Amino acid sequence: MSDEEAEEEYLFKIVIIGDSAVGKSNLLSRYSRNEFNAHSKATIGVEFQTQSVEIHGKEVKAQIWDTAGQERFRAVTSAYYRGAFGALLVYDISRRATFDNVARWLDEINSHSDTTVARMLVGNKCDLEDSREVGLEEGKRLAESEGLFFIETSALDSTNVETAFEMVIREIYNNVS
């Protein structure tokens, strides 16, 4: 391997989108800092977190963007999507309305992106089995019909959080390398 190859850098922008209060900020804080906040307010200040993953001996960095609560006003700007190679589209399995809105978020990503964006549908709060309103199979079916990856997660108990982000990062790596 030449020196140039060894020093090759990978930095991918990934965006998290979906309705308000589905758990976007907590998925990111769980993944990047192993933190969960039961009373999280709309994100203030922090635009993104950077995480490193090793793939085939290479350091791959993901710059993961969180909305600052703009999704409440349907005012996520094109700057937010610009340059993204991956997206996590999150709904809350205990609130059907957030699943019904997945189609519009998907339209948003598709209309703002010109490259191959690795897209994953994420059914968050799978710890809330007792108040589930969206079945696992429904999520799978939608993902399959739209060509998305699919996973259910819990930012609360950590289920599949790392897997969700790392699947997207690996897919992006596969797309570009």
Give me the residues that bind Mg ion (CB under 5 A), please: 24-25, 43
Residue 112 binding: pick among ligand GDP, Mg ion, none (C-beta 5-8 Å cut-off by kind): none
| Residue nearest Mg ion by beta-carbon distance | 25
Residue from the set 102, 106, 155, 167 that interacts with ligand GDP by CB under 6 A? 155
22 binding ligand GDP? (CB under 6 A): yes
Residue 86 binding: pick among Mg ion, ligand GDP, none (C-beta 5-8 Å cut-off by kind): none
User: Quick one: 17 or 134, whose CB is closer to Mg ion?
Assistant: 17
Strand partners, 119: 87
**Taking the complex as a whole, how short is the minimal distance between the CB of residue 21 and Mg ion, in angstroms?**
8
**Taking the complex as a whole, how short is the minimal distance between the CB of residue 47 and ligand GDP, in angstroms?**
13
User: What's the Cα-to-Cα distance from 43 to each of 8, 40, 167, rounded to whole Å?
Assistant: 33, 8, 25
Residue 30 binding: pick among Mg ion, ligand GDP, none (C-beta 5-8 Å cut-off by kind): none
- Write out the DSSP string of the chain: --HHHHH--EEEEEEEEESTTSSHHHHHHHHHH----TTPPSP-S--EEEEEEEETTEEEEEEEE---SGGGGT---HHHHTTEEEEEEEEETT-HHHHHTHHHHHHHHHHH--S--EEEEEEE-TT-GGG--S-HHHHHHHHHHHT-EEEE--TTT-TTHHHHHHHHHHHHHHHH-
98 binding ligand GDP? (CB under 6 A): no
User: Quick one: 51 or 159, whose CB is closer to ligand GDP?
Assistant: 159
40 binding ligand GDP? (CB under 6 A): yes
User: Which residues are at the interface with ligand GDP (CB under 6 A)?
Assistant: 20-26, 37-38, 40, 124-125, 127-128, 154-156
